[in-house]
Structure formats: C-alpha cells, structure tokens
Amino acid sequence: MFKNNFSLPVRVYYQDTDAGGVVYHSIHLNFMERARYEWLRELGFNVNSLLEMHKVLFMVRSLEIEYFKPAVLDDFLNVTVAVKEMGRSRITLFQEILCSHVKLVSATIHVVCVGTETLKPVSIPVPLREKIGKPA
C-alpha cells in the first residue's frame, strides 16, 4: 500500500519533554517534519534545491494524528515516512513514530507543492515525481 518507506532515528532530549519527562505532543510534529526533510534529501532533493532549482516548496495542508503511547526522555525513536498517494500537486504521506518497534504515534499528512512566488499549488517537479514513483 505504501511506497518509499524511510526511517529516521531520533533521540529524545530534555528539551523535547515536559516537566514529567514525557515528549510534549507538538514535538512529534517536529520529529515528523525532520523525517520528511531527510526523506527528500535521500531522494536527492534537499529543500534548497527545490527552492532554487525548481522554485517550489511543500506546505502541510492538513494532517490527522493519533497518539498511542508516550515517548519519554532518552528514548531512541524511529520516525517513518511512506507515500500513500500522489496527485498533480499533492502528496499524502503516512508517518509513524516507533520505539523498539512499538507504535507510539501515527499520522496521515497531506502536503501541497506550491510555487515560491505565488504560494499557489503547482505540479510536483517531474524529477521528484519520477523518484517517488507511483504508490503500490
């Protein structure tokens, strides 16, 4: 169902937690964003190249997130990225945060490719589209 599975290892630091040592809910979004950036980099497209060469960037349009178990100080996490769907200007991604293969968080994130000058939807650059391929 998903294609281009990617995983980024992340350590939970003190700055990521609340007073009880539990990862604050919005920090999970930071971890997921970091994983999306690294996923693009692994495909050969860093954010600067998308901005400079292709004059595009990706913006989150919407997301659904579920929290199952807490991450705590010093946990070693794996943050995954997988392509669920791809349209002309939109990519739907499925992301999870795992600790020792236990699912802590899952999210479906819809990102839209926009032109840097107008911030309006534009087609995903062909080289990136070809790298992503079609989801299975």
Q: Element (H or E) spanning 94, and its range?
A: strand 90-99
Query: What span, in angstroms and rounded, lies between the C-alpha atoms of 133 and 93?
Result: 13
Asked if 18 is an active-site residue, the reply is yes
Q: Which of 15, 26, 3, 28 has the alpha carbon at shortest distance from 103?
A: 28
Active site residues: 18
